[in-house]
Amino acid sequence: MKNILRFVLAGLILLPQVQVGVRAQQAAPPKQEPKPDEDLGDPIKVDVDVVNVYCSARNKQNNIVINLNKDDFDLAEDGQKQTIKYFTRETDIPLTIGLLIDVSGSQINLIEQERRAGGQFFSSVLRKKDMAFLIQFGADTELLQDLTGTPRLLQDGLRRLKPNTGVAGLHPGPVPTMSKQRGTVLYDAVYVASKDMLAHEVGRKALVLITDGEDFGSTESERTAIEAAQKADAIVYGVLYADRQFYGSMNMGFSGAGVLKHMAEETGGHMFQVDRKTTLESIFDQIQQEMRSQYLIGYTPTNGKRDGGYRKIDLKTHDKDLKIQVRKGYYAGRN
């Protein structure tokens, strides 16, 4: 097909910048830092070494809390207290969303439901300036729709979802899997979607994974997939959707839940599970609500070295009953 994923062969990863801007290139006025706590408005790039942290807060009832202020948070990096310089509850910062759908052999019976729910999700979540793309993965990965803000094109991509089990006759995708058993290249899909599709986008970025969480045959590891998402500043939302008939009695014992939970926690996202009480449609509603209810916190780290090292982020609220969803850290890009 015309649209296939391209690997990024090289590139320097810079320290995350304040990204409160639009995607189109425009003639920029003289660069100027925004005043602390001001409404950041539409995203533009500001040429200062600022780390952006998107986070969500939930109470004991697991409801999203939207009335917090800057003074409600305590922030540390590698154990050192940091000063919150920018804070906003702006919900209109553009979203870039990647929907990654598992079409391996274990998911064949679920594809039609994934198609319907995905269409509803795109129709309801995309607003002006938002962009989305669609990837299916099984024995390999395939980009079904490149970045677009048009729900109709994404719907067309969803109609092209089809099983991909790696049997003879199916063309190989852009992710090489010949060295291992080919089955479900979940880690490769997350890695390429993060590095190739999201790394150079601005604003809020998220990957929504619909899968049973099992991986067979990826070239990348779980660790490198998470690292790619962190370097792209992408939040991972894992949707555990397993075919009970396929797994039978093993359905409650397989390792997919742990994988999706780990990916979500490391990037500041959340893991959901489709079951008899929770539908895929209701989960998409929750994801949409969470993405529209995030806080954006910006700070200039006291450690200004760009050594490529990993920096651990610790964000808490004074209210111990609140749970904060935030990425665990970031990589300080080299100069």
Do 118 and 195 lie in one domain? The reply is yes
What is the reported pLDDT for 254? Answer: 59
Note whether residue 12 is domain-resident: no
What is the reported pLDDT for 39? Answer: 43
Question: In this model, does residue 185 exceed pLDDT 70?
Answer: yes
Average pLDDT over residues 68-92: 92
Q: 305: pLDDT confidence band, cut at 50, 70 and 90? A: confident
Question: In this model, does residue 124 exceed pLDDT 90?
Answer: no
Do 173 and 206 lie in one domain? The reply is yes
Q: 91: pLDDT confidence band, cut at 50, 70 and 90? A: low
Question: In this model, does residue 271 exceed pLDDT 60?
Answer: yes
Which of 5-9, 16-20, 206-210, 241-245 is predicted most confidently? Answer: 206-210
Q: In what order do the strands lie in the sheet with 329-331?
A: 80-81, 73-77, 310-317, 329-331
Note whether residue 16 is domain-resident: no
- Could you give the percent of the chain with pLDDT greater than 70? 76
Closest CA to 86 of 128, 49, 129, 127: 49
Do 307 and 279 lie in one domain? The reply is no
Question: In this model, does residue 147 exceed pLDDT 50?
Answer: yes
Q: 173: pLDDT confidence band, cut at 50, 70 and 90? A: very low
pTM of the complete model: 0.79
Question: In this model, does residue 286 exceed pLDDT 60?
Answer: yes
Note whether residue 21 is domain-resident: no
CATH of residue 209's domain is 3.40.50.410
CB 54 within 8 Å of CB 268: yes
Q: What is the mean pLDDT of the chain?
A: 81
What is the reported pLDDT for 304? Answer: 86
Q: Which domain holds residue 263?
A: 95-291
What is the reported pLDDT for 27? Answer: 36
Do 76 and 101 lie in one domain? The reply is no
The 10s digit of each residue's pLDDT in 208-264 is: 999 999 998 999 999 999 999 999 999 999 999 988 776 664 444 457 899 999 999
What is the reported pLDDT for 158? Answer: 96
Do 117 and 184 lie in one domain? The reply is yes
Asked which of 87-91, 111-115, 140-144, 246-250 is least confident by mean pLDDT, the reply is 246-250
d(CA 192, CA 6): 8
CB 35 within 8 Å of CB 20: no
Note whether residue 6 is domain-resident: no
Which residues fall within 8 angstroms of residue 112, CB to CB, at 6 or more apart?
none
Question: In this model, does residue 267 exceed pLDDT 90?
Answer: yes
CATH of residue 77's domain is 2.60.40
Note whether residue 71 is domain-resident: yes
Average pLDDT over residues 142-165: 94
Do 83 and 107 lie in one domain? The reply is no
What is the reported pLDDT for 178? Answer: 39
Handedness of CA 224, 229, 235, 239 (dihedral sign): negative
What crossing angle do the helices spanning 222-231 and 256-267 adopt, rounded to 10°? 30
Average pLDDT over residues 315-329: 94
Note whether residue 24 is domain-resident: no
d(CA 113, CA 260): 20
Question: In this model, does residue 133 exceed pLDDT 50?
Answer: yes
Average pLDDT over residues 92-113: 90
Question: In this model, does residue 65 exceed pLDDT 80?
Answer: yes
Average pLDDT over residues 170-182: 42
Structural domains of the chain, count:
2
Note whether residue 19 is domain-resident: no
Do 85 and 100 lie in one domain? The reply is no
d(CA 205, CA 199): 9
